[in-house]
């Protein structure tokens, strides 16, 4: 049982951090995309 807890803590934390960072980057990319779409045409 203790082995499973160690595996989950070793793997679960990096996965949670990765999903959090991906979510933040996604919102930033959407803002950049919208800014580029709103640029006036030349």
> Over 90: is that where the pLDDT of 30 sits?
yes
- Element housing 8 (H / E): helix 2-37
CA-based nearest residue to 22, from 32, 14, 12, 10: 14
Whole-structure pTM value: 0.61
- pLDDT tens per residue, range 6-24: 888 899 989 999 999 999 9
| Rounded distance between C-alpha atoms, residue 11 and residue 3, angstroms | 12
How confident is residue 1, by pLDDT bands cut at 50, 70 and 90?
confident
- Percent of the chain beyond pLDDT 90? 64
Q: Is the dihedral of CA 19, 23, 28, 34 positive or negative?
A: positive
């Amino acid at each position: 049982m203790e082995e499973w807890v160690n595996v989950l803590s070793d793997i679960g934390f990096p996965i949670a951090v990765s999903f959090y960072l991906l979510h933040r980057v996604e919102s930033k990319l959407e803002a950049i995309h919208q800014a580029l779409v709103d640029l006036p045409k030349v």
